[in-house]
Amino acid sequence: MYILIFLFPYFFTSIDVPEFQKSTPVLWSFEINKINNSEFEILATATIEKGWILYSQFTDDNGPVPTQFVIDEQVVRFEEKTTSMKEFDPLFEVEVIKFKDKAIFSKIIKKSATGKVNGYVTFMTCDGAKCLPPTDVNFNLDIN
């Protein structure tokens, strides 16, 4: 009887696990800007929640998963417009290159025959005590 009374409140408590899994400390936005009739610039902006960091594309191979961009199934290096920090990371025991608050990435591309750019970014984020598994975020941009 006492067990039922103790557990009774838990039957009416709702935990929305899928909603929790959707939340991320890094939010991405993508835009495309025309440079001329044949060239365009993709801007990828990561807004990073306070206390969390995002790793560079150029971090140590023995460290965390680096940020990686893929366009039309090809790995593509973006220019890192935001100033990064390089420091020893005790979680991985290597020097890492990382961003806090915001990271902006840029890539100049040629106009495609379809007028569309499809891809994704893979990234990993940590807060000093724990890391979230690498995550993919898709982007689909229209050049026209």
What number is the average pLDDT over the span 29-33? 96
The confidence score (pLDDT) of residue 91 equals 83
91 vs 63: CA distance, rounded Å: 9
Q: How far is CA 115 from CA 75, 82, 119, 142, in A?
A: 19, 28, 14, 6
What tens digit of pLDDT does each residue of 83-108 get?
999 999 888 899 999 999 999 999 99
What tens digit of pLDDT does each residue of 125-142 get?
999 889 999 999 999 999
**Which pair of tokens denotes residue 113?**
């025959």
What tens digit of pLDDT does each residue of 10-27 get?
333 333 333 333 578 999
Domains and CATH numbers, the chain: 26-142 (2.60.40.1250)
The model's pTM: 0.81
Residues 101-129 as b/e (b if ≥16 CB within 10 A, e otherwise) read: eebebebebeeeeeeebebbbebbbbeee
